[in-house]
Amino acid sequence: MSHEIDTSVLKALLPHFVRAEDSLARLDERALRSAVAEGFAERRHFFDAIGAMWVAGELVHLEDLVLHDAHMDARAPSHELTIAHAILRARRRLWTSKPDWALSEAGMAVLTGIGGEQERAPESKSAQPENGDEDHEPDALMIAELAEIDAVLERSTRMLDNLAQREVTESAKPSLVQDRLGLFDDEDWDEAARMREWRRTIMIADQLPPTLGAAILFDAWERIEPLRRQHWLGGLLVASYLRGRGKVTSHFLAFFSGLKTIRHERRRSRDRVIRLQSFLEAMIESADLGLKEIDRLLLAQTQMEMRFKDRRSNSSLPQLARFMLSRPMVSSAMVARELRISPRGALNLLNDIGVREITGRGRYRAWGII
């Protein structure tokens, strides 16, 4: 098969996948025993969703994604933000499912929409709004869903207007360059056949070390391009593969967080060895970023614990500390809803716990661990 790896390529990749194996092993062991493991795993979902959009050439602000996930959008969500939230939800779905579910027949059918939805994996509780505000929650959910539909309609209208301005004849078939979003059917683009071709590379990857096998799978995904509308799914399947092989079990690896630091010329090179090296380097970079994130969260946790160690037993500060560790940033409204307190009480707790304010504006204030 074209995706098999020979001895010469293996020798060229040996230093990289040895470093990748060691880096991911250290990260997994550290995260598994860390006191901030739960918050670390949840935060990686957000950073990886942003990284996936970055790799795709789109910029989504982290605070917009956090607020959109909490159903507290400051503005109507854009098309890019809607995709980023879909990536976030897909990561949570994969993390809460069995390690081997994503690459199974049923899992691929659910994730890709090819073959029907025969089985549904559970989603994380944090992906769903809390039940405390029962009177207002249905309206908030409806507003968020309508906003997503409006964003998609606006994007579609803008794209169709651009196509009309190109003066393409009605009989002309849209090319792949004109149809980058995959909105038009292409008889030559058989997603089911391409997906079957990609799945055949799993047998090759299983005969190699986990990190090298994951790099082979991602390179095959980039070359075959099974899904035009969900091209970002390849990075999530790589993380699922590493989890299924037992390489990273403490959390869902944020592969795109490391991949976005690799130069475009290397990860899209015509030389297969260079591409595989760049994907292994992305895993190393993801592991390094993860270790730094754990150190940062442990330091923040220690500083927050010093603030409330002498407080009364029913203080809300410990619960606020756990919430702060699970989100890249929070607003006073998010804290008020999470802790079921008043907005004024949320501001007082945020001042007492001593976290850094990251906006510096009076109208819109947010706090986070940076």
Question: Does the pLDDT at position 104 exceed 70?
Answer: yes
Question: Does the pLDDT at position 87 exceed 60?
Answer: yes
The distance of Cα 353 from the centroid of its chain, to the nearest Å, equals 29
- Residue pLDDT, tens place only, 285-322: 999 999 999 999 999 999 998 887 777 777 888 899 99
The one-character DSSP state at 331 is E
> pLDDT band at 115, cuts 50/70/90?
low
pLDDT at 129: 43
The one-character DSSP state at 358 is S
> pLDDT band at 118, cuts 50/70/90?
very low
pLDDT at 363: 60
Residue whose pair of structure tokens reads 């007492």 in the numeric block: 352
Specify whether the CB–CB gap between 52 and 87 falls below 8 A: yes
Q: How far is CA 219 from CA 79, 233, 247, in A?
A: 27, 13, 19
Residue, of 202 and 130, whose pLDDT is higher: 202
Residue, of 241 and 127, whose pLDDT is higher: 241
Give the mean pLDDT of 108-132: 56
> Of the given ranges (51-65, 255-269, 355-369), which has the lowest mean pLDDT?
355-369
pLDDT at 8: 81
Q: What are the sequence ranges of the domains in the chain?
A: 7-288, 310-368
d(CA 148, CA 73): 11
What percentage of the chain exceeds 90 in pLDDT?
Answer: 56
Give the mean pLDDT of 327-348: 91
d(CA 335, CA 319): 10
- Residue pLDDT, tens place only, 154-175: 667 666 666 655 544 444 444 4
pLDDT at 187: 56
Tokens of 318: 């410990």
> pLDDT band at 140, cuts 50/70/90?
low
d(CA 172, CA 254): 41
Is residue 242 helix, strand or coil?
helix
Is residue 114 helix, strand or coil?
coil
pLDDT at 238: 95
Give the mean pLDDT of 104-129: 62
Tokens of 265: 């010329």
Specify whether the CB–CB gap between 17 and 209 falls below 8 A: yes
pLDDT at 180: 46
Give the mean pLDDT of 31-41: 94
Specify whether the CB–CB gap between 63 and 366 falls below 8 A: yes
Would you tell me how many other CB atoms lie within 10 Å of the CB of residue 1? Answer: 9
Count Cβ atoms within 10 A of the Cβ of residue 213 and give its class: 0-12 exposed, 13-18 middle, 19 or more buried. Answer: buried
- Residue pLDDT, tens place only, 219-251: 999 999 998 889 999 999 999 999 999 999 999
d(CA 370, CA 368): 6
pLDDT at 361: 60
- Name the CATH topology of 310-368: Arc Repressor Mutant, subunit A (1.10.10)
Mean pLDDT across the chain: 83
pLDDT at 308: 79
Paired residues of 366 in beta bridges: 331
The one-character DSSP state at 126 is G
> Of the given ranges (72-76, 160-164, 189-193, 350-354), which has the lowest mean pLDDT?
160-164
pLDDT at 190: 80
Question: Does the pLDDT at position 88 exceed 80?
Answer: yes
